[in-house]
Structure formats: C-alpha cells, structure tokens
C-alpha cells in the first residue's frame, strides 16, 4: 500500500504549478521553451505521417507543444523589466507567439476531428512560425542551442482518502543528468492526453515541485495533494505522466 502523508489542514490551496524550471533570464528561458515546443510539434507531425496516423500520440505531442509555448509567452512578458528588450519588441514577439497558438489550436481541432490534411497544414504553419520566433529571440540574446532531450515516466497519483488531510506521490524519471541545463517539468493526464486539471478529484487540489537529484543520481519530482478526503486509501487514482525536457 502506498504511504499516505497526513498533512496539516492549514495547507495553502491554490492553482498548482504545472511546471518548474531552473532560473534563466527571460529571453533565454523563452528561447528554450520555444525550442522545446518545436521539438514536440515535429513529433506530432511524425505521428500524423505514420500509417495509419497515430492520433493519440499526435494529440499528446501537439498539446505539450502548446503547453510549453505558454512558458515562452510568460518569459517574453518579463523581458522588458529585465532590460533585455523594449516593451514594443516584447509586444510584437508576444503577438507572434499568440499567432503560433492559433496554429496550435487549429492543429488540435483537426487532430480531434481526425482531419490529417488540415492537421498537417496547421502543424507546418506552427513549425515555421516557431523557427522564425527563435530567430527573433536569438537576436535579443536567446540561447542558440536547439537540441532538447526528454525523459518521461508514467505514474499514479492517489486521492486523499476519507479521514486524511493529504496524500503525496513521488516520481523518479530516468536518464536526466545531474548537470542538466534549462530543465522543465510538465505533467500529462493519460486519460485525456492533456495537462491535469487543477482539481485531482472534487475538493482536492495538487501542487508539484522538483526536489532535486538523489545521491544515486535519480531526479525526484514530488506531488502534494490536499483537500477533503474521499473513499478508502489507494481506492481512487489518476494515471499521469511526467515529462522532463532539458538541454542535451
């Protein structure tokens, strides 16, 4: 039976952080995020080009690309305050990024409708636009590294049972080097292929953090769940996947 932590009822509840990253300056962070999104977009296109198309893989990769692009948009918004670019430049790049999001949404809609031709067209438009955005960011000091590695691992997150104030889960994705740079962590609900909802179960919220590397070299990612307990211990669970991206 999975160990259950009794967490104080005074835990602060809020919208969980869907990702955690090492500290980067805004332009470098935005550049890396767009590069990671581009890698996912290409994987989505590869999935569509399979015979028959792998719709589930295409959906998951396209959604991850959209999710990571949101990190880039946040970093672009921080760049003027960090004196890395003028507000007008940041606004123009923000517009470009939101145009990419329109392509991404069009691709996801086409994938949902199993319209391969429309999905490919939208993905190609997004890929081209992301490449252009990377060039623009590089002109303002963004990293020029383009190769991104990924580590993934499925795991279960259990609900807080009745009579308890909280539960937790730890996951240890394999293959992430201790000197990994520009590391990002995101989660996917395997039942939906999308980022997990703010509520794990009704009345229960979650938050995550990167604990760090253990002495044996494994990366530890921790998820806390808190709220009103339901059911018996280990009776209710969601099946997730952690996705770690970093510079190779």
Q: What is the pLDDT of residues 145-180, one digit of tens each?
A: 446 788 899 999 999 999 998 999 999 998 899 888
pLDDT at 140: 72
Nearest to 170 by CA among 229, 232, 235, 218: 218
pLDDT at 3: 35
Residue spans of beta strands (DSSP E) within the chain: 148-158, 166-171, 181-189, 199-201, 204-213, 219-227, 237-247
213 pLDDT higher than 90? yes
* b/e 176-197 (16+ beta carbons within 10 angstroms → b): beeebebbbbbbbbbeebbbbe
> Bridge-partner residues for 179, per DSSP?
none
> Bridge-partner residues for 219, per DSSP?
213
11 pLDDT higher than 90? no
φ and ψ at residue 235, rounded to 5 degrees: -85, -35
pLDDT in tens, 109-141: 999 999 999 999 999 999 989 998 998 888 775
| Contact residues for 59 (Cβ-Cβ < 8 A; gap 6+) | 44, 108, 111, 112, 193
First to last CA, the chain: 37
């Amino acid at each position: 039976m999975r160990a259950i932590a009794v967490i104080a009822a005074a835990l602060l509840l809020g919208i969980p952080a869907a990702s955690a990253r090492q500290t980067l300056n805004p332009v470098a962070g935005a550049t890396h995020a767009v590069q990671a999104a581009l890698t996912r977009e290409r994987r989505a296109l590869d999935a569509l080009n399979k015979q028959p198309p792998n719709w589930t893989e295409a959906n998951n990769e396209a959604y991850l690309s959209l999710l990571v692009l949101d990190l880039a948009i946040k970093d672009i918004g921080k760049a003027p305050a960090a004196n890395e670019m003028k507000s007008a430049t940041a606004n123009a790049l923000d517009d470009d990024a939101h145009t990419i999001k329109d392509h991404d949404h069009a691709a996801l809609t086409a994938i949902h409708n199993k319209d391969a031709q429309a999905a490919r067209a939208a993905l190609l438009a997004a890929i081209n636009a992301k490449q252009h955005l990377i060039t623009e960011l590089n002109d303002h000091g963004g990293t020029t590294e383009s190769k991104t590695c990924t580590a993934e691992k499925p795991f279960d997150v259990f609900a807080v049972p009745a009579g308890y104030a909280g539960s937790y889960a730890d996951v240890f994705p394999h293959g992430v080097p201790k000197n990994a740079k520009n590391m990002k962590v995101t989660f996917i609900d395997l039942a939906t292929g999308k980022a997990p909802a703010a509520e794990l179960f009704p009345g229960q919220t979650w938050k995550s953090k990167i604990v760090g590397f253990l002495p044996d070299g494994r990366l530890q990612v921790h998820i806390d769940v808190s709220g009103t307990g339901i059911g018996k211990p280990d009776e209710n669970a969601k099946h997730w996947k952690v996705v770690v991206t970093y510079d190779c």
